Structure 1
């Protein structure tokens, strides 16, 4: 692999591009900037840069002042005489400008300032600088999304006290949530290649009006890179090669993408490969997190092996491959076709939190692996513009097919029986979205959606000694289906620059069908089929008011829902030591009612203070509780007598929080930023109020960032408060093996902090180097609810070559 890196880099180092007259580039990323308006003082002369950032200055004289203007960059002026011999002009990014345009709030572009909800925008420049290992790490680096990890190949986001199937993930506007998205921790976000992302928008709070079921706590919208067409008849060719290495996992990553652009057609290909070894934790912290021994399967049987380095979390390494192919076709200026093909696959990877469980003083599991997590998506979007239609100014039709595949393989220590469960989901969706301007003050959005999921699920019991296998209970009812249909509408009214009102409604209808006949031979359920119908009307209303140039107020109220999916209705699995979850065909949707108030003080972009507080009431909450099956509270499952549980509408919850962010421009090059989040909440369990499971500890970060023409440096601190034993949810207390123990021997989540350095240097016009030193003091810690300890001191080096 190391030789591959060297050869790849040398090959691309010999490829050069010739400058044509002048080239306008971003001062940090050195990426060409398309659409830069170049003009003189009276605008009698003007040109615009093409997709290569190129333009001719022949019509300008040597002494007249020339202006370079772009929406997302700072205005620059100079004369032709002031140009260097390289004929390069570098523009500085205007961060506030880059964040102004968002798509996720209505599926069409809007000014971020007009949106009553809080939306975090992460652009391509920030993603390149952060240099995340996975998309879960990208979300975590926002400082406002908390990420739980059960294993190295994972990352389950938490937003404002909600997680898993109460959060929605979209890719290029298409929902990734499917019928088997569970209430337990989810790893699906790692299937999205961070190298393919153009920008990410995270909506904090409900998004059910636009996205329907599941969007209770927030929406994570990933928008991937777009193919670029050529302005002239010449072929537009662009390419990037990235090589990365990290010490904590001995990571080896290679990425390549290239764009072929013609006048009406464009093609973009993207390939990424990651290889991670076992993760090393930090040296200073709770001894409870150490890995003193591990189970190993050999030809002569299972053995307990003493770990030569207890800081290394044995059997956590894995590999991942990401592929993306996009095609863009624009036969006319008002009509375009976008086709995206995505494929992601992993190797087998262990669920680490299950490998560290003990039973009677001995490691319980000899193996507990997820099989390859595969995701395929084919997405066709057709966009039509119209200037004379009474129905729309812009319409988008999106047709998508997705296939999800996952599996689980576990075997107890010294047991010859390996339990295997395999699942697959075929997900089809169709969206039709419209945008219409009604006069100068009102913008109208409306649309239709249909989603269909088909679930395949199989169970197998393999005897590794006899080399035989027999069928067993599957995780889900095989052949079950989940459908959703919806119509929505929203309106934005902006009478002046100071005031914006937005409101919307969505009607949802959800239908699920499941046949339990195959599993009944193992479970003897009191029912053989299940049909669940649900409808919901959700709404939102909010205002943005800016009484002056300094102060901005935001107020938003919304309702959201989550309909029971196949995971809720029909799942069979071991939820923990000695417990098994069984199907329940008597479920209804859960509803959330939220309010949010935000205030922003902006003193001429020199000092910015952004605050928001929120409150959510969750009614009829779908939670796991004790259950009985045919009058029995215990049954045999995978050879163990287990307590019976099921998902039920058995709870209410109250979640609240406060967020504050600060930005101080000390100078033009030096900026100080900080973010802090407080989350709290309670839910009712057996008539008693207990802490909410996903109410994370208070957390925050502080960054000191220095930016020069070819260099960027970030010294930052990430910190996290303690959650004491009495602050843990009962379901977390049951998982004491993943926590540290306090002085009384009770599980708790200790506080922690890390000190970190990150830098980016432009070596040449085409080559950049990103280097990071994370967790400098080598702290040993776990993010709340995580089964795996975070990386210890970690040096990360990435080399990028662009042409």
Structure 2
């Protein structure tokens, strides 16, 4: 009897081995990999993993070599015996392959090679290695996005001559742009925690068909880490901790995330905290950037103090807290529900460029100028179904989201007893429905609808710091103003063969805003008490991707884009520059962009890759700040100062063009040379005269010499930036001469600069990774174009990551 039981048990074990179910996972993220081709040497046996990364290996013998192949991962070969009792196979990411899959082009995964536009990607591995302090620095590391900073707690991206509210930011597919995104430099991007980002995609050029208003110059798409499931009855517990220090700003950062996964549920929590002190600039460069004196606020009054270390940029430090919570539920292999909650807040952030301005009396103008705590809250729930027999769709994604933005400004002139405090908040609701349908084996249709609603609250008062009283004053925005957008879009992808892809799309958008100015009319006496602005737009795109051979890929794309007036355009009141004030204007319509791009990629057996692009954009009815009049007056008193009246107007046209070159050269198996170079040019009309455009950056680029092996990664790299002479600066930049160096004639200009840098990463153990960097090795003193703060001098950065 015992013999029979033993034989039965042996038979069952044999059946279990033969019917081995395995799960294929990414070695870094431990997430399932869908679509892994599993086959033997002669490919007579093959299976493919499902949406859970699962496959059945009963076809294969125990000692038979099995190949695991996936586009974005390194080929793996194992026998069933080598897989072991855990029944898990881990594949290493192939960085080049990962960049071939993008989501932002249609809201669903596509092969990057099929997209006629240029899209650049950063994955979790490269983000960890570059170790950015903020998400502004994260996208700057792409080498194709220029970043301006007015203060240390800032970062305003520029893409192909466009910036601020002409660029779109999305987080997990939800638009971050809101009704008060302004034309002046923005720092909302720093609210996104770089430690929480799984991957980033930057679309260079128009994205209006998929994303609507604001996506004129480009789209920056951030995708945060998802909660991971175990897909078994066992618990999946993971944790990561990071500590980082940077010497130039005395930065101290801590991060911790924790993931708990079970068969159908996953939970991920993340928290990051950073503290920055005053930033120290370099020793070698223009003396115009030094901080010789500063205002010290004391109980006895404001005092101008000599800065004993003028390379220390007094009053630039701040702190930031980020929290994220994710929940994921997968009742079926092709159906998932994702809940995401993000929260970010900062301390007061000193606006450094305003603190270094001098008044007509020769003294520093401001005693205080702070952005108050910048707060961002987002909650979104997303349902994704990746397989359906419906006649209307094969894949469907539905997203509901709510965001709340809070910001404030607090400023006080030198020796004034009055502090101006203006506080704004925006509640933003959005609904997105995105679908994909295969019309034939060669044709796919993407379509969807979107609705967005924003409500703005704005308060202002003038505080007397002596007797602690406060009086109402003019608010920055009309309190209670609303902005809403409804749209429908569709795009089609036709791929008759592997060498040729045609994509085209259309979007119709209707936008309406309402504002009431009764509260501000007490101070401004506007000729209207309320306004309602309606506009609609039809935009389109068409392009081809053609690969006549494995060596050559051509991209050609044409598109239209638009930006509808928002509450910032219609109803803002603020001091745009010393001696000027912007007032509301109800007579606005959308601005339109018409553009084209031609790209060529040459791939010489993956040893040498050249990626070139040239583009041209014409902007019509551009919304720009120009001189205006209020009730016939060209000057009014604002915050106690006689100021020139200005307003946002459809008063300009612009022409922007540029060229980009990317290079990757494999010198040896472990050593690569990569480089990016961009040149942008353009003009706009101002009083019938063509003048330089504000957000056209100087030529810029980088070059990296990267060496890697199993445990070590070393990167020696240079960043560089060209000159913008005085006659190349936009009129609005010439008015801010206090942030620029002076040329031999004493006129403001933006000088060229370069930095040499070294970055390293070492895998101490399976769980511990150390990253160390030396930035600006030659201690250059420089400011990136249009920035109000000088960049850091020589900077030592150390980070330790430990994973469980």
Residues 203-242 of structure 1 correspond to what in structure 2 (within 5 A)?
Answer: 203-242=203-242
Residue 413 (1) aligns with residue 411 (2)? no
Residues 66-105 of structure 1 correspond to what in structure 2 (within 5 A)?
Answer: 66-77=66-77, 93-105=93-105
- What is the SS of the residue equivalent to 2:448? strand
How far apart are residue 387 of structure 1 and its match?
A: 3.1
How far apart are residue 238 of structure 1 and its match?
A: 1.1
**CA pair 483-90 structure 1, distance change in 2 beyond 3 A:** closer
| Structure 1 Cα separation of the partners of residues 332 and 50 of structure 2 | 19
How far apart are residue 73 of structure 1 and its match?
A: 2.2
2:39–2:67: 8 Å Cα contact kept in structure 1? yes
**CA pair 715-81 structure 1, distance change in 2 beyond 3 A:** farther
- What is the SS of the residue equivalent to 1:210? helix
- CA-to-partner distance for each residue in 1:426-457, whole Å, 9 max, x for gaps? 00111111110011000001111111000000
- CA-to-partner distance for each residue in 1:302-339, whole Å, 9 max, x for gaps? 01111121111111000000001011112233432111
Residue 509 (1) aligns with residue 510 (2)? yes
How far apart are residue 78 of structure 1 and its match?
A: 6.4
- What is the SS of the residue equivalent to 1:128? helix
1:663–1:671: 8 Å Cα contact kept in structure 2? yes
How far apart are residue 220 of structure 1 and its match?
A: 0.3
| Structure 2 Cα separation of the partners of residues 802 and 741 of structure 1 | 50
Residues 160-309 of structure 1 correspond to what in structure 2 (within 5 A)?
Answer: 160-309=160-309
Which deviates more, 330-339 or 583-592? 330-339
How far apart are residue 394 of structure 1 and its match?
A: 1.1
Residue 604 (1) aligns with residue 631 (2)? no
2:711–2:762: 8 Å Cα contact kept in structure 1? yes
| Structure 2 Cα separation of the partners of residues 401 and 54 of structure 1 | 35
Q: What TM-score, normalized to structure 1?
A: 0.94
| Structure 2 Cα separation of the partners of residues 708 and 25 of structure 1 | 22
How far apart are residue 472 of structure 1 and its match?
A: 0.4
1:521 equivalent in structure 2: 522
| Structure 2 Cα separation of the partners of residues 789 and 417 of structure 1 | 30
**CA pair 724-97 structure 1, distance change in 2 beyond 3 A:** same
How far apart are residue 80 of structure 1 and its match?
A: 9.3
| Structure 1 Cα separation of the partners of residues 89 and 235 of structure 2 | 23
1:662 equivalent in structure 2: 663
| Structure 1 Cα separation of the partners of residues 60 and 317 of structure 2 | 58
| Structure 2 Cα separation of the partners of residues 459 and 523 of structure 1 | 14
How far apart are residue 264 of structure 1 and its match?
A: 1.2
Q: Structure 1: where are the runs of 5+ without partners?
A: 1-20
Residue 367 (1) aligns with residue 341 (2)? no
**CA pair 798-56 structure 1, distance change in 2 beyond 3 A:** farther
| Structure 1 Cα separation of the partners of residues 23 and 442 of structure 2 | 38
- CA-to-partner distance for each residue in 1:336-360, whole Å, 9 max, x for gaps? 2111111000000100000000012
1:566 equivalent in structure 2: 567
| Structure 1 Cα separation of the partners of residues 770 and 23 of structure 2 | 21
1:649 equivalent in structure 2: 650
**CA pair 61-432 structure 1, distance change in 2 beyond 3 A:** closer
2:10 equivalent in structure 1: none
| Structure 1 Cα separation of the partners of residues 63 and 388 of structure 2 | 42
**CA pair 57-485 structure 1, distance change in 2 beyond 3 A:** closer
2:571–2:584: 8 Å Cα contact kept in structure 1? yes
Residue 480 (1) aligns with residue 481 (2)? yes
2:320 equivalent in structure 1: 320
- What is the SS of the residue equivalent to 1:362? coil
1:23–1:32: 8 Å Cα contact kept in structure 2? no
2:48–2:55: 8 Å Cα contact kept in structure 1? yes
How far apart are residue 39 of structure 1 and its match?
A: 5.7
- CA-to-partner distance for each residue in 1:554-592, whole Å, 9 max, x for gaps? 000000000000000000000111110011111111000
- CA-to-partner distance for each residue in 1:687-745, whole Å, 9 max, x for gaps? 10000111100000000111101111111000000000000000000000000000101
- CA-to-partner distance for each residue in 1:66-85, whole Å, 9 max, x for gaps? 5343432222446799999x
How far apart are residue 93 of structure 1 and its match?
A: 3.8
How far apart are residue 383 of structure 1 and its match?
A: 1.8
| Structure 2 Cα separation of the partners of residues 457 and 33 of structure 1 | 44
2:51–2:333: 8 Å Cα contact kept in structure 1? no
1:154 equivalent in structure 2: 154
- CA-to-partner distance for each residue in 1:248-306, whole Å, 9 max, x for gaps? 11111111111111111111111111111111111100000001111111111001111
How far apart are residue 45 of structure 1 and its match?
A: 8.3
Which deviates more, 48-57 or 462-471? 48-57
1:777 equivalent in structure 2: 778
Q: What TM-score, normalized to structure 2?
A: 0.93
1:330 equivalent in structure 2: 330
1:371–1:408: 8 Å Cα contact kept in structure 2? yes
- CA-to-partner distance for each residue in 1:588-620, whole Å, 9 max, x for gaps? 110000000001111111111110100000000
Residue 682 (1) aligns with residue 683 (2)? yes
The count of residues paired between Structure 1 and Structure 2 equals 781
1:107 equivalent in structure 2: 107
| Structure 2 Cα separation of the partners of residues 609 and 169 of structure 1 | 28
1:11 equivalent in structure 2: none
- What is the SS of the residue equivalent to 1:415? coil
**CA pair 351-765 structure 1, distance change in 2 beyond 3 A:** same
**CA pair 247-657 structure 1, distance change in 2 beyond 3 A:** same
- What is the SS of the residue equivalent to 1:363? coil
1:34–1:50: 8 Å Cα contact kept in structure 2? no
